[in-house]
Structure 1
Amino acid sequence: MPSLLKIVGIAFGAIALVGVVVGSITWAILASQGPTPPELVPLDWWEHTVIYQIYPRSFKDSDGDGIGDIKGIITQLDHFVDAGVGAIWMSPVFVSPMVDFGYDISDFYNIQEEYGTMADFEELVEKAHQLGIKIILDYVPNHASTESEYFKKSVAREPGYENHFVWANPIIDPNNASNRLVPSNWISQFGGTVWEWNEARQQYYLHQFAIEQADFNFREPAVKEEMLNIMRFWFEKGADGYRLDAIPHLFEADPNDYGGQYPDEPLTGNPFLTPNQAGYTTQEHTRDQIELYDVVYEWRGFADKWTNDNNAETRILLAEAYANVTMTMLYYGNERDRIGAHFPFNFDFINSLSSNSNARDFVYIIKRWLTYMPQGKVANWVFGNHDQKRMPSRFRPNMVDGLNSLNMMLPGVAITYQGEEIGMRDGYVSWEDTVDVAACNQGNPDNYLQFSRDPARTPYQWDRSTSAGFSTNTSTWLPVSQDYLEINLQAQKEATRSHFKMYKSMTRLRKEPALSHGSYHIQSLSENTFALVRYLLTHDTYALVFNVGETSDTVDLSTVQFLEEPLTVYASSVHSNRVVDDTVPRGSVTLQAGEALVLRASPM
């Protein structure tokens, strides 16, 4: 007789065999049915949207005074629908003396007269919301105009306002007791010392930007409370969120930590800067102080509570954060118990890439953000804004379609600065026409363009009519760019192929599940060309192949992962010889300088 152990072993073997057979049958059935499609979790309105930045002064003039306004924006809301935009962010439209064109606010609760009225703003919100477009306001908490009531009351030391701003006593010159010295060697972002003497108060006040922009004191509880009051007011007016301006400057070194005096900053040693230019000192005491993050976290808590209390759609906070990658990621939250901004703006394409960058640079910069970004957060991509040279002027005009396509195909939120959808370039603004405070403070007729932001702010180019269709007035606040006859929206709508039509095709593509919910893969194929693939089980795969070099380049697409044949062209840059639905081999492909191909591949 067989042993008991042998009998048991045979029995278990039979059971295992049955299990293998049943399992094989089950797998065969599942395989014949194909892979199970993943469930697409609905996204919040902001998580995969396209945000379009408007510089209101330069977007559309409705009354012929040469200055853009809110009614002008209202007349062009259909443009955003046509372009596939989900939200518009407006640079400040609040009451301001316009020293820094709206970023020096004197009344945070009212609309600047030349931009319109509160009724105009309310109409904009109502009509935009009817079209499914969200409104994001530029919120400027770091400073206020010296013409504001806040500042006037602080100068007069009115109760409750004495410490609304950063005030400091002068340092007495040890060699001359009658000589008044500034409290520290800190340099303003617009040049010169950050300290300005106020005769009435007999103290210096801090201004990290223009003299007329006095810095709030965020160590004063009344200031923090007023910031929440301002947020609440515009939420109730219908704002869907805020872009938080100049957040790195909210706090500066506390003199109590340095024996009661503000510490001097070390010099950077940059031989190309003068003692009056930003960057001459390290700015280690004037930006990125750790206290500022707690304020951002408090604001997020406030926004979330307001949303919940009012049973409203999500109100978002977007932080302007020029900092190293580690400090930038802290704006998302501290990964323990504090939630921060919905995202900090990603300026890597502005700060780290240029026309000299190769494909590996692009791949590295993209992977760096996605690697450092905390788990579960949403990425974003910025290619230009009102403070930087326009995208085609920083890179090359033949890269416009590739850059816009890259923006639309990367995971997260795509941000477009006005004019990028038609490839607008920096306009020429003479020294005589220059109005930017940064250029006027630091420049002269020989070097002002080094500092001027005006070329990126010239009026939007709608058509070939007077002032490019921006205004009926031949005189505009900044001159219209001289290339408007060639580059304008109307011409691109009429053309068979154009930057705008390519842009529209890419915003439509963002609705595909592979882009909204899928995974990504990015790799360099050569020094000049890289590929970005977006894929999701059972859905079409899409790939961007982009030559960022100045010469043509032949690459092998067979090395690109997650691509299945056949490959067809979904979209191509305007100077490409390939057109929609052309077949592309999964092998050797040659791309012209700057050429971008968006390919559709079979589902995985």
Structure 2
Amino acid sequence: MTVDIHSSTAAVPEAANENSLNEHCQVKSKVGHVAKFQCENEDQISNDDELYPKSSSGIFQISFQQFKQIPEFIPLTKAELKSFINNPYWRKIRLLIGIFYVFFIILLLLGSIMLIIFSTKCSSKSPLKWYEKDLIYEVDLQMFSDSDADGQGDLNGFLSKFDYLQKYSLKTFLFRPTIFQQKNHLDFLKLNSNILNQTFFDSFIKLIHRKDMNVILDLPLSSTNDLNGTFWYGFNQSLPMQINNPCNQGEESLGCRYWKSSERLPLDFNEKQVKEQAENRIRYWLLSKNVDGIRIDLPLQFNQQTNLYEISSETISQWNLIKYQIEKQTKTKLILFDIPFDLLDFIKQNDFHNEIIYPILDKSSSIIKAKQIDEQIDSFHSNHRSLPKFWKFGSLRLKEQIQTNLSKEIQLTMTMLFPGTPIILYGEELSLDYNRNRLMLWTSDLPSGGFSSCLTDDCQRLFHLYEINPLKTNVKRQEATDGNVEESFLKYFSYLTKLRQENSFRYGLFEKGFSEKFNLFWFIRELSGQRGYLILFNLNKKEEKLIHLSLYELTNQLIPLSISYEYQWPKNSFSLYQNQTHINSDNLFISSKQSIFIFSWKVKLIKPETLFQKAKLYLVD
């Protein structure tokens, strides 16, 4: 056997094993540029070492004498391509492929539509209206701030405190009727020139809207303060019929309780003249002057057959219709109904339930228990109503003395963190008592606490009519407490204002409960995908001993075992958890006297709605 070994830099052809480059030899193996050949008429030698003796380098290079010519690739001509295009066979193939592609796209589209229709819907956050975003700050401009030293507050004084209003996120203002001209009689059209004039008010409304703020006017169009029952706001015209004493029909009648609660006589909305004048003023302020909303007292009508007053549902519907017509030309408007506490049990209609301002607590008893609060909330559901959209402490039209065993901190927390929009009276953020002091106190300066620089005898007499003690509390003092919230009601108000901006308080569900044994009331605010919160109230007035409880069991396992501490009032009552990041909700100690605890937890893996629903079904079983 002979072996030809040649050197070459060319690569070994792919078909070298089939056609040897040497006529009488075949390739035995190849690696890169190296190949072994087996020639004819030679005995095959299995010992490669004998066949290929090693060179000194151990590498042999084989040179190929000739290469096999690979046929050149010749593409189809244009004529040949056209012949295939017009070929009936290929036309059918292309048509079938096109039909299949279109059918596949249609199937994908139908599948997507079916998936959207039948898939589980995620809870979406509906956009909030302007009056649902922020609290409503009720202001008496005459008592807020005096800019011209005449002893009366005015709109310029209000504007001078704009930094204060913005600092505490106050964006919606409810102006009391003192802004209207009070001489002779109140007509709810002319403004009090000592407080503001019409031109200034128009500019003020434009400024407010540029700052994304809103103004609501208090218009008691359903009653008159003329106790003789003759004069009213209708252009100096006497009423068609004098209003008789409503209590002639009985002390418990609607008309009598209306008069006693508000000290105003109800107008009869059966009278065409009364209806027209009220509607004119609604259109004037909502449309012509572009205010954002109005607050009205409850309209009544006199039933000639029963000789009793009753709620005028027709009037309420007509006012709402006017509002809807105005909204087509402007933005969303608001009509609120201010109803005395004593009259809430007369409200049977559900059509204007969401426009009523409800008290945060039941005022029928001075001693409030946790069970009473729970039952008050349940009463809305039992009457097939949703929770109120608006909450209040009280109304300045009322002469009721609101006496309760609960601290103002507890009442404020419920008002601010319940679902709905809170209405806060000016000075309530300082814990001022309106029945004693109607002036807003800004500094510790005597005699008016920074309200006015007026030094005349008339001003001094006016200031001494109120039990003013600016040394005890004022805005400047409460802002300078270095974060000691127990001494600063204003700082606590600021904390709650920021907390209610969380999505769980804006959009989240509301679950509540109570412990009759410990007199504890609690509620949960939580939104899917957001941090959850539990607010716990201890309503006991006296401190006896620490309460040991399991929040995990108290809330029927609606909260996780591991929770975080957020806030506690009062600060110095019991500070066991203030420095702890994670707390075991199954093993808690809390103060036995009136206190507030706020806890939170991380986002749950299961939707809160699903979890709470399963927990309720478990309790029923």
Matched residue type, 1:239? V
CA distance in 2, matches of 1:550, 1:52: 30
Q: Secondary structure at the match of 1:110?
A: coil
Matches within 5 A, 1:155-166: 164-166=239-241
The aligned residue for residue 607 of structure 2 is: none
Matched residue type, 1:343? E
Q: Secondary structure at the match of 1:114?
A: coil
The aligned residue for residue 150 of structure 1 is: 234
Structure 1 183/366 Cα, relative in aligned 2: closer, same or farther at 3 Å?
closer
Which of the numbers 209, 216, 220 marks the counterpart of 1:136? 216
RMSD: 3.5
Per-residue CA distance 1:218-255 (angstroms, 9 max, x = gap):
2122321221111111112121111112x15x32332x
Structure 1 493/168 Cα, relative in aligned 2: closer, same or farther at 3 Å?
closer
User: Relative to structure 2, which stretch is displaced further, 294-303 or 571-580?
Assistant: 571-580
CA distance in 2, matches of 1:571, 1:395: 24
The aligned residue for residue 566 of structure 2 is: 570
Shift of 1:515: 1.2
Matched residue type, 1:305? Q
CA distance in 2, matches of 1:566, 1:167: 67
Matched residue type, 1:386? L
Matches within 5 A, 1:205-224: 216-224=267-275
Shift of 1:149: 7.4
The aligned residue for residue 444 of structure 2 is: 464
CA distance in 1, matches of 2:144, 2:520: 35
Matches within 5 A, 1:93-172: 93-97=178-182, 105-144=185-224, 150=234, 152-154=236-238, 164-167=239-242
The aligned residue for residue 252 of structure 1 is: 302
Shift of 1:325: 5.0
Which of the numbers 411, 426, 441 marks the counterpart of 1:418? 426
The aligned residue for residue 544 of structure 1 is: 535
Matched residue type, 1:43? L
State TM-score, norm by structure 1. Answer: 0.67
Which of the numbers 329, 336, 339 marks the counterpart of 1:321? 339
Matches within 5 A, 1:477-488: 479-488=465-474
CA distance in 2, matches of 1:251, 1:129: 37
Gaps of 5+ in 2: 1-119, 605-621
Structure 1 95/490 Cα, relative in aligned 2: closer, same or farther at 3 Å?
same
Counterpart contact for 1:87–1:136, Cα < 8 Å: yes
Matched residue type, 1:599? F
Shift of 1:345: 1.3
Matched residue type, 1:166? M
User: Relative to structure 2, which stretch is displaced further, 504-513 or 62-71?
Assistant: 62-71
Matched residue type, 1:603? V
Q: Percent identity?
A: 19
CA distance in 2, matches of 1:296, 1:130: 31
Per-residue CA distance 1:253-277 (angstroms, 9 max, x = gap):
32xx26xxxx4xxxxxxxxxxxxxx
Q: Secondary structure at the match of 2:324?
A: helix
CA distance in 2, matches of 1:106, 1:209: 20
Structure 1 210/594 Cα, relative in aligned 2: closer, same or farther at 3 Å?
closer
Structure 1 225/528 Cα, relative in aligned 2: closer, same or farther at 3 Å?
same
Shift of 1:416: 1.0
User: Relative to structure 2, which stretch is displaced further, 219-228 or 540-549?
Assistant: 219-228
The aligned residue for residue 101 of structure 2 is: none
CA distance in 1, matches of 2:242, 2:315: 21
Structure 1 82/168 Cα, relative in aligned 2: closer, same or farther at 3 Å?
closer
Counterpart contact for 1:571–1:597, Cα < 8 Å: yes
Counterpart contact for 1:106–1:147, Cα < 8 Å: no
Corresponding residue pairs, total: 457
Which of the numbers 513, 518, 537 marks the counterpart of 2:508? 518
CA distance in 2, matches of 1:300, 1:36: 33
Shift of 1:540: 0.5
CA distance in 1, matches of 2:333, 2:512: 32
The aligned residue for residue 379 of structure 2 is: 368
Shift of 1:509: 1.6
Q: Secondary structure at the match of 1:314?
A: coil
Matched residue type, 2:590? T
Per-residue CA distance 1:320-339 (angstroms, 9 max, x = gap):
12356564352x41xxxxxx
Which of the numbers 381, 386, 391 marks the counterpart of 2:391? 381
Matched residue type, 2:559? L
Structure 1 581/564 Cα, relative in aligned 2: closer, same or farther at 3 Å?
farther
Matched residue type, 2:334? I
State TM-score, norm by structure 2. Answer: 0.66
Q: Secondary structure at the match of 1:349?
A: coil
Structure 1 388/478 Cα, relative in aligned 2: closer, same or farther at 3 Å?
farther
Matches within 5 A, 1:55-454: 55-97=140-182, 105-144=185-224, 150=234, 152-154=236-238, 164-167=239-242, 185=248, 216-235=267-286, 236-245=288-297, 247=298, 250-254=300-304, 257=305, 263=307, 285-286=308-309, 289-290=310-311, 292-308=312-328, 310=329, 312-322=330-340, 327-328=346-347, 330=349, 332-333=350-351, 340=352, 342-347=354-359, 349=361, 351-352=363-364, 354=366, 356-372=367-383, 374=385, 378-387=388-397, 394-395=403-404, 399-426=407-434, 454=435
Q: Secondary structure at the match of 2:132?
A: coil
Matched residue type, 1:590? I
Matched residue type, 2:359? F
CA distance in 1, matches of 2:213, 2:275: 30
Per-residue CA distance 1:540-570 (angstroms, 9 max, x = gap):
0011111122123514312224222432232
Structure 1 573/36 Cα, relative in aligned 2: closer, same or farther at 3 Å?
farther
Structure 1 152/186 Cα, relative in aligned 2: closer, same or farther at 3 Å?
farther
* Rg comparison, structure with higher value: 2
CA distance in 2, matches of 1:168, 1:558: 59
Counterpart contact for 1:37–1:538, Cα < 8 Å: no
The aligned residue for residue 552 of structure 2 is: 558
CA distance in 2, matches of 1:80, 1:399: 25
Structure 1 403/96 Cα, relative in aligned 2: closer, same or farther at 3 Å?
same
Shift of 1:115: 2.0
Shift of 1:45: 1.6
Q: Which has the higher contact order (CA 8 A, sep 6+)?
A: 1
Q: Secondary structure at the match of 2:194?
A: helix
The aligned residue for residue 502 of structure 1 is: 492
Counterpart contact for 1:566–1:602, Cα < 8 Å: no
Shift of 1:79: 2.7
Structure 1 168/493 Cα, relative in aligned 2: closer, same or farther at 3 Å?
closer
1:51 has 2:136 as partner: yes
The aligned residue for residue 176 of structure 1 is: none
Matched residue type, 1:231? I
